[in-house]
Structure 1
Amino acid sequence: MLLKYYCYGSLKSIEEATNYLHCSRRQLQRILKKLCDEGKMIKEGKGKYKIKG
């Protein structure tokens, strides 16, 4: 999971992540929602996520 190496445990800005990962904001939001539904990530606030584990 490339996201794991980029965010070092937490994601603070979706905009920065989309630039780094070369994907659209909507694509990243879909992936983050899927990971939250699977219990692999936790949403901490608006645009902030943390890897569970």
Structure 2
Amino acid sequence: MSLLLRRPPSRKAYPGDVFYLHSHLLEGATKLSCSLGEGSMTALPIVET
């Protein structure tokens, strides 16, 4: 994500808008069916701590 934002990967490279971008990407990866009330997610979030 830091490469997409063109910032060096460090602790300061992760402002609050990065977490907004993560949630926006996950929302875009979902496909909802209004008629069935179901949906699927085609992204697999992975977190390294």
Please give the TM-score of this superposition, normalised by the length of structure 2.
0.38
Which of the pair has the greater relative contact order for Cα pairs under 8 Å at 6+ separation? 1
Larger proportion of helix: 1
Larger proportion of strand: 1
Please give the TM-score of this superposition, normalised by the length of structure 1.
0.36
